[in-house]
Amino acid sequence: MYPREQYLKEIISKKDNGRIKIITGLRRSGKSVLLFQLYREWLLGEGVKEDQIIALALDIFENARYRNPLELDKYVRDHMVDPKKRYYIFIDEIQFVSEIQNPYVDNEDAKITFIDVILGFMHMDNADVYVTGSNSKMLSSDILTQFRDRGDEIRVYPLSFAEFYNEYEGDKRGAWQDYYTYGGMPLATSLESHEEKSRYLKDLFDRTYIKDVLERHEIKNDTEVLDILLDVLASGIGSLTNPSKLANTFKSERQIGIGSETIEKYIGYFEESFLIEKAVRYDVKGRKYIGTPAKYYYTDLGLRNARLGFRQLEETHIMENVLYNDLIRRGMNVDVGVVEYNTKDADGKKIRKQLEVDFVVNQGGKRFYIQSALSIADPDKKEQEIESLKRIPDSFSKMVVVRDYLKPWQDENGITYVGIEQFLLNEELLK
């Protein structure tokens, strides 16, 4: 069992703070283990008694009755038998709680949801409430408003490379190859053979994520479209695209007519389920966002690779995806950078060109510009990779992360170069 120290420390820091702790993230990424095992064990070690921990997993069939908010409320209150004791309430996969008609009022529009239940618990002086959820909609602005700004989100990601490597039996290069192939879903890392890992990840995709999306949004006729869209996004990680471009791809390559609005809606469903993340473009010199196109990254590379039958294991885009995930996990705000400049074409005519910076990374008042490159051994390739960085007219840190083992060093332009394993294992590089 992985210790998940980053998230455990975050939960501990929020203990008894009078706010609801909302632990979110991709299903099977370790939220339940974090709460029901790691944090529970920590509480017990601090002197909390077993009967003070009220834990309920709503994705288990035998607990299906508690998906009714009234039954859920009754279950918890029935276990809070001593008003002098402090109780720690753990509810796993809160999005399974249904919205029901309020039986106490004669009004069809009067509903009861999990929000009403949680708000009720929060009014109890001897309750400390923790919920997990695998759907970002539960954190929409409307819901947060109803929590009256009394909620703290703790976002859990699949294992980082550093977490994976700390438990890995072998060298860094072997760890890197296994990580970018099979990803960081905790159970997948415990399986031995390629066949076992592949089967688990494929089944997880089909039986959990796609099933959740279909059921949650009551999709019956477009299952093929969802499958194809997930494949197209998986093939195109690190590439700029938009719903209109994707609609054209469906029409030209699959002979399927589907509107860009529908595609945008379906992509939104994948984002809500934490399957993919969207990175928007930022004009570095103009200091403004560019709405479209954007890049999409898979939250877990193992799931992405399984989606494609492990047929597209090109390190270029995979490495970029891994870097993006790790930066987000560290709490950074990450955009795709665009650097525009004026030049002349072969005929001497003035033209405006764009160069890309893989990541513009912001945290507080700090900013970093990061390029992902397989290799800089070839001087021409190196110059190509750093051209955009050299044209950025500010003094923020600039860095190139390469696949090869490389001790950090800095060139005459002030650009730092570092190997991928070193970057992922040493968070001090971005301090």
**Predicted pLDDT at 404:** 85
* pLDDT reported for residue 388: 97
Record the pTM: 0.94
Which sign does the torsion angle of CA 401, 402, 407, 410 carry?
negative
161-310: CATH class: mainly alpha
Pick the CATH number of 335-430 from 3.40.1350, 2.60.40, 1.10.3470, 1.10.1660: 3.40.1350
CA 254 to CA 330: how far, in whole Å? 39
Report CA-CA distances (Å) from 72 to 52, 63, 117, 213: 17, 10, 8, 24
Contact 32, 55 (CB under 8 A): no
CA distances from 301 to 188, 209, 325 (A): 12, 15, 10
Check if the beta carbon of residue 20 is closer than 8 Å to that of residue 150. yes
Residues of the chain with CATH 3.40.1350: 335-430
Ramachandran assignment for 203, one of left (phi > 0), alpha (psi -120 to 50 degrees), beta (any other): alpha
What type of residue sits at position 371? Q
The 8-class DSSP code of residue 159 comes to P
Residues 420 and 412: their CA atoms lie apart, in Å, by 21
CA distance 395 to 414: 9
Three-state SS letters, 86-148: CEEEEEECHHHCCCEECCCCCCCCCEECHHHHHHHHHCCCCEEEEEEECCHHHHCHHHHHHCC
Total length of the chain = 431
Give yes or no for a contact between 101 and 108, defined as CB atoms under 8 angstroms apart.
yes
pLDDT at 138: 63
Torsion of the alpha carbons at 156, 162, 163 and 167, rounded to the nearest 10 = 170
Q: How many CB atoms lie within 10 A of CB 63?
A: 17
* Per-residue model confidence as pLDDT tens for the chain (431 residues): 899 999 999 999 999 999 999 999 999 999 999 999 999 999 999 999 999 999 999 999 999 999 999 999 999 999 999 999 999 999 999 989 999 999 999 999 999 999 999 989 988 999 999 999 888 776 665 566 677 678 888 999 999 999 999 999 877 778 999 999 999 999 999 999 999 999 999 999 999 999 989 988 889 888 899 999 999 999 999 999 999 999 999 999 989 999 999 999 999 999 999 999 999 999 999 999 998 899 999 999 999 999 999 998 989 999 999 999 999 999 999 999 999 998 888 788 889 999 999 999 999 899 999 999 999 999 999 999 999 999 999 999 999 999 988 889 999 999 999 999 999 999 999 98
The pLDDT of residue 220 is 85
- Cα-Cα-Cα-Cα dihedral sign, residues 297, 302, 307, 308: positive
CATH 3.40.50.300 residue ranges in the chain? 5-155
Question: 53: part of which helix (H) or strand (E)?
Answer: strand 53-57
| Amino acid 148: pLDDT | 64
With both helix axes pointing from N to C terminus, report the angle between 260-272 and 223-235 in degrees, rounded to the nearest 10.
Answer: 80
Q: How far apart are CA 94 and CA 41, in angstroms?
A: 22
- 254 phi and psi, to 5 degrees? -120, -5
Two structure tokens written together for 23:
């632990």
Confidence (pLDDT) at 308: 96
Write out the two tokens for 78: 């029935």
Whether the bond into 186 is cis, omega within 30 of 0: no
* Residue in 169, 266, 260 with CA at minimum distance from that of residue 226: 266
Q: Quick one: pLDDT at residue 151?
A: 86
According to CATH, the topology of domain 5-155 is Rossmann fold (3.40.50)
Residue 149, sorted as left (phi over 0), alpha (psi -120 to 50) or beta, turns out to be left
Q: What token pair was written down for 154?
A: 């703790």
Q: In the chain, which segments carry CATH 1.10.10?
A: 161-310
